[in-house]
Amino acid sequence: MTRILRRAVFAFLLVGAVAGWTPGVGAQDAPAAGPPPAAAPNARSPLGINLAKIRDYSPEIVFVDLFRTARAWASNARGVGWDDAGPLDLDEHGWVRSLRPGQRAETPLFTGFGPHIPLGTTTCLFEGTGRIEFKGARVLSERPGRIEVRFDPQAPVRSLRITATDPDDYLRNIRLILPGFLDTYRDEPFHPAFLERWRAFGVLRFMDWMQTNGSMVERWSQRPTLAHHSQGTERGVALELMVELANTLGAEPWFCMPHAADDEYVRAFASQVAALLDPSLSVWIEYSNELWNGQFPQARYARERGLELELAEGASKAGHRYTARRAVEIFALWEEAFGGTERLVRVLAGQSAVPRTAETILGFEGGAAHADVYAIAPYFGGRLVRKESERVREMGLEGLMVALRDSVDLQAGIIAKNVAALEPHELPLVAYEGGQGVFAARADARDAEFLALLADANRHPAMAELYAAYLAAWKEAGGTRFVHFSSMSRYGKSGSWGALERHDQDPLSVPKYRALVDFIAGQPRWWERE
């Protein structure tokens, strides 16, 4: 298709999207009467989702116990700056054992939510003796071990404070149960709207839940557990919760092993997954994340280890080779725990924009023979926005939407080159991440008007058509499983990655999300036989 014709077709799609038009189903396509019972919505799903970090400022409500998203305690006192009142006395799980005179421990709640908070009575449950206070909330009732509060949707700041605690019976096991879940939170930890939102996706990639980028975890004893005061800190989320989510949704979990984790950690992690995961589910295994990407600490670690082991003279190539070697070692530990490879999807990953990376990684020490897939992150639109920001400003929103279509075409060619690079190794291509990559370069990150333009592009009705074209190009080029990045996030200087922006949006009113679920419904796993 010529560029002129392609632009004309896309202009028609833009008009149709703005008018609310979407392709319909003809009468001849109507299902026959009395269809068999519908399969699970993710039974044949070609897509997965990268779940966003668990944080107090994340706009997604994942748990019905809000305190599971609390950040590390801040040490505060009257007359000093935030977290500037000296070290806190914490136990091994992060609970406050004692306070000095005038000191308080504080953690923000619903950060950045504005009025978009659940309304009603939130119940604070706790053990121990001390004093808990709230900012931005009204206390309705209080008795030992239980406080009922109502958060103010207009409050600029909301937080929980420990202002006193008995060192012999310190406050611990704090829970903040959202309205309506007091009777069920123990057995059903995930918010039902969160579950429903991602029910159609067949793979859950836990890269951000595991704090993979720059992970602090090296040994099994350093892992996050259910006993820790929160799941929203730099440790990441407990394995038990990740497996429970996968089991609840019937989705395959994708775990990223920390870059510096020792064999004991990997073996224990794999053994626990084998024991807890629904036996009908496969599990995806990847060594860290983007070990080719020099902006991440794990990539620098891989390069240093590769050079130390004299795997290559150049740092980049040494890092790629170390990635292959350590990944295969990790795969072997998982194979041992699972008694073979039948339920494992072993992932080797490289750089989408440099297809030859595949040969460096897959060809080293026979790495391809120990992998099941090769993964890339084929984002579209990023280069356009970061390299040609002045032109983007001039073209405005409608012009940007048309220009992004060219970016989709460019990415289709790159995907095809990656598929071709895998032919000698007979491995399928998957996307560990992907979607739009429209975010500002550092020089433009303080330009509020420019950031608003990029955010508006992600909200534009035509973004659904772009996603449809992009995913169709992925399929046509030979790609298989595609895992979108990411689930939900606020749009701003760090990008507009989320398929959704807020927990209280109507998902089907959002172009990106709608395009993803439409693709799932219309394109069952084309690379597998029924």
d(CA 137, CA 156): 11
pLDDT (0 to 100) of residue 35: 52
SS3 label, residue 338: helix
DSSP conformation class of 237: -
Domains and CATH numbers, the chain: 1-21+40-50+377-530 (no CATH), 67-177 (2.60.40), 190-345 (no CATH)
pLDDT attached to residue 38:
58
134 Cβ neighbours under 8 A, 6+ residues apart:
124, 147, 149, 158, 159, 160, 161
pLDDT (tens, 9 = 90+) of the chain, 530 residues, equals 333 333 333 333 333 333 333 333 333 333 344 455 557 889 999 999 999 999 999 999 999 999 999 999 999 999 999 999 999 999 999 999 999 999 999 999 999 999 999 999 999 999 999 999 999 999 999 999 999 999 999 999 999 999 999 999 999 999 999 999 999 999 999 999 999 999 999 999 999 999 999 999 999 999 999 999 999 999 999 999 999 999 999 999 999 999 999 999 999 999 999 999 999 999 999 999 999 999 999 999 999 999 999 999 999 999 999 999 999 999 999 999 999 999 999 999 999 999 999 999 999 999 999 999 999 999 999 999 999 999 999 999 999 999 999 999 999 999 999 999 999 999 999 999 999 999 999 999 999 999 999 999 999 999 999 999 999 999 999 999 999 999 999 999 999 999 999 999 999 999 999 999 999 999 999 998 65
Closest of 244, 148, 137, 239 to residue 195, by C-alpha: 244
pTM over 0.85: yes
Please tell me the predicted confidence (pLDDT) of residue 17.
Answer: 36
Q: What pLDDT shows up at residue 353?
A: 97
Q: Enter the tokens of residue 385.
A: 């926005």
DSSP 272-319: HHHHHS-TT--EEEEESS-TT-TTSHHHHHHHHHHHHTTS-SSHHHHH
Residue-level pLDDT at 4: 32
Closest Cα partner for 46 from 504, 482, 448, 393? 482
Contact call for residues 430 and 418 (beta carbons, < 8 A): no
Calculate the alpha carbon distances from 404 to 10, 273, 517 in Å. 11, 41, 21
What is residue 37's predicted lDDT score, i.e. its pLDDT?
54
Q: Phi, psi at residue 161, to the nearest 5°?
A: -125, 135
- Cα 259 from Cα 395, distance rounded (Å): 42
Q: Tell me, what's the pLDDT at 218?
A: 98
CB atoms near residue 390 (< 10 Å): 9
Strand partners, 254: 205, 284
